[in-house]
C-alpha cells in the first residue's frame, strides 16, 4: 500500500545511526551472476489516482437530457493523459495509466455513477512534485465539459529512487571485487515505483538490479506475470554483494 512500509520504518527510527543504505531489486533482464547499476534516478515516482464521476442518470434514448456519464468517463480516460502530457516537459516521463473503469449495469440505461482508478508515474522528481495540482485540474476540466461531477482522491505514493554516485560506486567496487568487471552492467531507469526511495530522502544510498535470469535463456520473464521464475543462484550473488560492500566500505 502506498506510500509503502519504508515510511513507517523511518517513523519508527529505522534510520537512526545509519550513514548510508543499499538495496537490490531482482531484474529478469539481467543474467544471474551480474548486477545492473545506474547513477541518479533508477525508478519512477508512482502515485495512485481514484476518481468518482456522478450524474443524474437517464435513458440512452435521451442522452441530451442528462449527463452522458459513460461518455464522460471515456473522455477522462483518453483526454486527461493527453492533456497532462502537454502541460509537462515530455522529458519528465509523466504517464497516467488506468487499471480500472466501472460504470453501469444495463445497455439502455445511462448510469448515475462511474469509477476510475490508475497510476501516475513520473521519471522526474520536480515534475512529480507538481503532478497532483496539474492532474486534478485536468480531470476537473474534462468532467465539467461533459457536466459530470467529479470526486478525486489523489494518493501520494513514492518519489523516484535516486542513486547517490558515491554509494553506487561502492556497489560497483564490491561486485567487481567478488565477481570481476564483467559482473557489472548498466541499466535504464524504470517506470516502476519503489518505497526504498523514502530512505534516500534522509541518507545517501543506492539500489542495484540483481540479475535473476538463467544465463543463456533468451526469454525475458515479466516480474508481474504468472510465468515469472528466477535462477536461485542469484540469492548467493546478493549475499556476496552486501557482504563485499560492507568490507569495501570498511577499507575506505
Q: Note the pLDDT of residue 88.
A: 93
Question: What is the helix (H) or strand (E) element at residue 99, kind and residue range?
Answer: strand 95-103
- pLDDT tens series, the chain, 252 aa: 667 788 889 999 999 999 999 999 999 899 999 999 999 999 999 999 999 999 999 999 999 999 999 999 999 999 999 999 999 998 898 999 999 999 999 999 999 999 999 999 999 888 999 999 999 999 999 999 999 999 999 999 999 999 999 999 999 999 999 999 999 999 999 888 899 999 999 999 999 999 999 888 877 777 777 777 888 999 999 999 999 999 887 656
* CA dist., res. 220 & res. 138, Å (int): 37
Instruction: From residue 9, give the alpha-carbon distance in Å to each of 6, 132, 232.
Output: 5, 25, 28
Q: Note the pLDDT of residue 49.
A: 96
Q: Note the pLDDT of residue 248.
A: 84
C-alpha grid cell for residue 191?
517506470
Q: Looking at the domain that runs over 19-43+161-251, which CATH code has it been given?
A: 3.40.630.10
Reduced 3-state DSSP string for 185-243: EECCCCCCCCHHHHHHHCCCEEEEEEEEECCCCCCCCCCCCCCCCCCCHHHHHHHHHHH
For 45-158, give the CATH class. alpha beta
Q: Note the pLDDT of residue 68.
A: 96
* CA dist., res. 206 & res. 40, Å (int): 9
Please answer whether residues 187 and 25 qualify as being in contact, where contact means their C-beta atoms are separated by less than 8 angstroms: no
Nearest to 205 by CA among 21, 6, 38, 17: 21
Domains 19-43+161-251 and 45-158 share a fold: no
Q: Could you state, in order of their start, the residue ranges of all structural domains in the chain?
A: 19-43+161-251, 45-158
* CA dist., res. 243 & res. 234, Å (int): 14
Q: Note the pLDDT of residue 231.
A: 85
Quickly list DSSP for 128-173: HHHHHHHHHHHHHHHHHHTT-EEEEEEEEEE---EE-HHHHHHHHH
Q: Note the pLDDT of residue 226.
A: 76
CA 42 to chain centre: 11
* CA dist., res. 101 & res. 69, Å (int): 12
* CA dist., res. 60 & res. 109, Å (int): 6
Amino acid at each position: 500500500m502506498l506510500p509503502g512500509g519504508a515510511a513507517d520504518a523511518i517513523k519508527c527510527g529505522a534510520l537512526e545511526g545509519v550513514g548510508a543504505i543499499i538495496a537490490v531489486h531482482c531484474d529478469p533482464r539481467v543474467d544471474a551472476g551480474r548486477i545492473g547499476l545506474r547513477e541518479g534516478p533508477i525508478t519512477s515516482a508512482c502515485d495512485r489516482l481514484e476518481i468518482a464521476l456522478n450524474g443524474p442518470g437517464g435513458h440512452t434514448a435521451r442522452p441530451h437530457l442528462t449527463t452522458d456519464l459513460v461518455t464522460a468517463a471515456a473522455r477522462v480516460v483518453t483526454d486527461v493523459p493527453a492533456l497532462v502530457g502537454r502541460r509537462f516537459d515530455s522529458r519528465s516521463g509523466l504517464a497516467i495509466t488506468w487499471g480500472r473503469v466501472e460504470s453501469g449495469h444495463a445497455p439502455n440505461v445511462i448510469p448515475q455513477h462511474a469509477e476510475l482508478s490508475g497510476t501516475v508515474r513520473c521519471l522526474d522528481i520536480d515534475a512529480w512534485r507538481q503532478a497532483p495540482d496539474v492532474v486534478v485540474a485536468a480531470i476537473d476540466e474534462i468532467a465539467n465539459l461533459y457536466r459530470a461531477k467529479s470526486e478525486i482522491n489523489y494518493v501520494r505514493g513514492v518519489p523516484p529512487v535516486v542513486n547517490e554516485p558515491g554509494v553506487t560506486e561502492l556497489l560497483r567496487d564490491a561486485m567487481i571485487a567478488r565477481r570481476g568487471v564483467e559482473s557489472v552492467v548498466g541499466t535504464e531507469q524504470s517506470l516502476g515505483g519503489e518505497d526504498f526511495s523514502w530512505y534516500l530522502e534522509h541518507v545517501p544510498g543506492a539500489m542495484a538490479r540483481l540479475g535473476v535470469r538463467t544465463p543463456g535463456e533468451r526469454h525475458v520473464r515479466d516480474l508481474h506475470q504468472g510465468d515469472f521464475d528466477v535462477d536461485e543462484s542469484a540469492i548467493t550473488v546478493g549475499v556476496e554483494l552486501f557482504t563485499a560492500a560492507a568490507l569495501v566500505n570498511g577499507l575506505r
